[in-house]
Structure 1
Amino acid sequence: MRPEVVQVADGTRLAACVWDAAGPPRGSVVVGGAMGVPQDFYAPFARWLAQRGWRVTTFDYRGSGQSRPASGSLRGFHADLFDWTRDYAAVIDHAQAALPHRSLYLLGHSLGAQLPGLLANQHKVDGLLSVAAGSGYWRQNAPALRRVVLIFWFLLVPIATRLCGYFPGRRLRVVGDLPAGVVLQWRRWCLNPRYSVGAEGEAVRRRYASARFPVRALSIEDDELMTDPGIRSLLALYENAPSEIERIVPRQFGIARLGHFGAFRREREADFWPLLAQWLGRFEQAQAR
């Protein structure tokens, strides 16, 4: 692994890490992280995947993880989800430039599979493996979450963000620290039945509709955040992308629990990570036909 700095067109500098492939690279994989989850969380999986022939890039969106401002404070830090999409696009450009004649796939966890529909450089993406990613609309959250999510959106988020100038999720033990623009835009999305497309309008609908890369979505039975209806709603936004859903029942793989985050935890190295690698390989096989 080596740390790298990726510069976005607006001058923002992002912290990224690259794991070079063991042997001749099969292609590139860019890992798009979930909301509030630092790239370090994905490091064990990225290292493991690189050992199987992939060049893997992880990164932190601006204002998060190692891409926080030098002061460490997010008070007054300006960023929204469109900025995070531009960050994602810059990392894709960086990865594609390193291996210009190889395929590039996205492995998107939660938010990391929502933002690709907004990318300006979708033509550089050869496939999206979507893990535990749904629309986020609150009525499609899991039942246990629906009982508390309106308190989160109508009380906790607006009050805490106004008081602190950012969302202090780490202190509240919810999601993680988020720039005010990110969390308030995310709030609008999650309160709209059509999520990002409903909240942002026709320009965003057209951007999702322009996606042509194949999407394979993993719907995890015991995901406490994303339900199967939410996953189907997200795929519906990618209206012109060939897509399919793979329903994951953990016990069928001898796994007691996966949940929203379990797919990338180190204890899944022996049983679930080979399946993720297999699903990435299916993109390769489809391209070879």
Structure 2
Amino acid sequence: MSARAATPSSTRPPLRGEERSVRRSWRQPNEPRNHAGRPRRRRLPAGRPPLPAAGHGQGCRPAGFGHGGAAKFLCPAGALAGRPGWAALSFDYRGMGDSRRGPLKALDVDLIGWAQRDCAALVEAARLQAPGKPLLWIGHSLGGQLPGLTPNIGRVDRIVTVAAGSGYWLENAWPLKRRAWLFWFVFAPILTPLFGYFPGKRLGMVGDLPAGVMRQWRRWCLHRDYAVGVEGQAVAQGFAAVRAPVLALGIEDDEMMSRRNTESLHGLYRGAAVALRRVAPAEHGLARIGHFGFFRKEHATTLWPRLIGPELAALEAEAPKPVESPAEAATSALP
């Protein structure tokens, strides 16, 4: 359900470009699409009460190294099933899935741009559509890294990361590490300048990625200290500035992120209360979860309510946040 009715449209401040893009990506799981491939927008019936909003930071990746793909793979709306009053906002980064407009080689964006523009727009759109309501960030893989780079992350009340780690290649889980050298030292540096973007889809590796994203991601993954080691103190301070409690769900049979990757990434959130939890398939009666399995529909009655449900309950029990006036909202939008 959309939280569009949370504030009267006549009193909402005008949206910036990134916010309008996120609004177009507001959707429900399995929602019908129009002929252009973009999700159709739904409206709440008149008089519907405001809804809290929940969002995630990563349009999920169905194959490969975890950056290319579409938000429909990871839709936290499913994780909210059975909890009335919650709404979900999912999105694709610019250049990915439903946010792709034109050739990737013409797109000038990197990972920091995805965080500062697209993730920030997601947070702002959720805040405007459900003012005064709690906001939960559910981030898979890269979506667990970008909160530290998102300028308005202070508006988020809690963060859940799933299968998220630093990405440093020598600490990757063995199934990935044994072939990562070929990806980082052969395919990425040769094919990206050759095509003007990384053509991962045709290689079955990671999905197509903008050149700026691939170049920056490669630099991060080759450095022991990942993004902080490459970008310096500004990024370190961004991670340290996160104050929302963080629940990090590491998947025991993750074929990409090792325990060390997970610990390394979440050690950057020095200003937040971080709870690291390992999720073993056998403990939930499952044969396998893996890097991409957590949000599959078959886990709707097992993993989702057991592991994400308590975070929703904690937010529901907290005192309501004050609602900003239209003037305050207009002056405190995206940085």
Same fold (TM over 0.5): yes
Cα distance 1:115–1:26, how it changes in 2: closer, same or farther (>3 A)? same
Q: State the alpha-carbon separation in 1 of the partners of residues 285 and 82 from structure 2.
A: 24
Structure 2 unpaired stretches of 5+: 5-13, 29-42, 61-66, 320-335
Structure 1 position 215 matched with structure 2 position 246? yes
Partner of 1:96: 127
Q: Quick check: 2:134–2:157 contact (8 Å CA) kept in 1?
A: yes
Q: State the alpha-carbon separation in 1 of the partners of residues 20 and 53 from structure 2.
A: 23
Q: Which has the larger radius of gyration?
A: 2
SS at match of 2:298: helix
User: Which one has a larger percent strand, Structure 1 or Structure 2?
Assistant: 1
* Number of positions where the alignment pairs a residue of Structure 1 with one of Structure 2: 283
Q: State the alpha-carbon separation in 2 of the partners of residues 11 and 244 from structure 1.
A: 31
Cα distance 1:176–1:7, how it changes in 2: closer, same or farther (>3 A)? farther
Q: Which of 49, 57, 66 is 2:98 aligned to?
A: 66
SS at match of 2:74: helix
Q: Quick check: 2:19–2:122 contact (8 Å CA) kept in 1?
A: no
SS at match of 2:105: coil
Q: Tell me by how many angstroms 1:169 deviates.
A: 1.0
Cα distance 1:244–1:47, how it changes in 2: closer, same or farther (>3 A)? closer
Q: State the alpha-carbon separation in 2 of the partners of residues 18 and 228 from structure 1.
A: 33
Cα distance 1:205–1:49, how it changes in 2: closer, same or farther (>3 A)? same
Q: Tell me by how many angstroms 1:269 deviates.
A: 1.8
Structure 1 unpaired stretches of 5+: none
Cα distance 1:47–1:228, how it changes in 2: closer, same or farther (>3 A)? closer
Q: State the alpha-carbon separation in 1 of the partners of residues 175 and 186 from structure 2.
A: 18
SS at match of 1:262: coil
Q: Tell me by how many angstroms 1:276 deviates.
A: 3.7
Cα distance 1:98–1:41, how it changes in 2: closer, same or farther (>3 A)? same
Partner of 1:125: 156
Supply the AA of the counterpart residue of 1:62: R
Supply the AA of the counterpart residue of 1:225: M
Cα distance 1:139–1:99, how it changes in 2: closer, same or farther (>3 A)? same
Cα distance 1:48–1:203, how it changes in 2: closer, same or farther (>3 A)? closer
Q: State the alpha-carbon separation in 2 of the partners of residues 249 and 83 from structure 1.
A: 34
SS at match of 1:13: helix
Once the two structures are overlaid, the 10-residue window that deviates more, 169-178 or 268-277, is: 268-277
Structure 1 position 31 matched with structure 2 position 39? no
Q: What is the percent sequence identity of the aligned residues? A: 44
Cα distance 1:285–1:100, how it changes in 2: closer, same or farther (>3 A)? closer
Pairing 1:176-215 to 2, within 5 Å after superposition:
176-215=207-246
Q: Quick check: 1:7–1:90 contact (8 Å CA) kept in 2?
A: no
SS at match of 1:197: helix
CA offsets per residue over residues 204-234 of structure 1, 9 Å max, x none? 1111111111100001100001111111101
Structure 1 position 76 matched with structure 2 position 106? yes
Q: Tell me by how many angstroms 1:281 deviates.
A: 2.4
CA offsets per residue over residues 139-180 of structure 1, 9 Å max, x none? 110012111101100110111111111011111101111100
Supply the AA of the counterpart residue of 1:28: A
* Runs of 4+ off more than 4 Å: 6-12, 23-26
CA offsets per residue over residues 93-131 of structure 1, 9 Å max, x none? 000111111110100000001000011112201010010
Partner of 1:57: 89
SS at match of 1:264: coil
Q: State the alpha-carbon separation in 1 of the partners of residues 299 and 94 from structure 2.
A: 29
Supply the AA of the counterpart residue of 2:259: D
Structure 1 position 13 matched with structure 2 position 56? no
Cα distance 1:38–1:135, how it changes in 2: closer, same or farther (>3 A)? same
Q: State the alpha-carbon separation in 1 of the partners of residues 16 and 144 from structure 2.
A: 20
Supply the AA of the counterpart residue of 2:95: G
Supply the AA of the counterpart residue of 1:139: L
Q: Tell me by how many angstroms 1:37 deviates.
A: 2.7
Structure 1 position 224 matched with structure 2 position 255? yes
SS at match of 1:59: coil
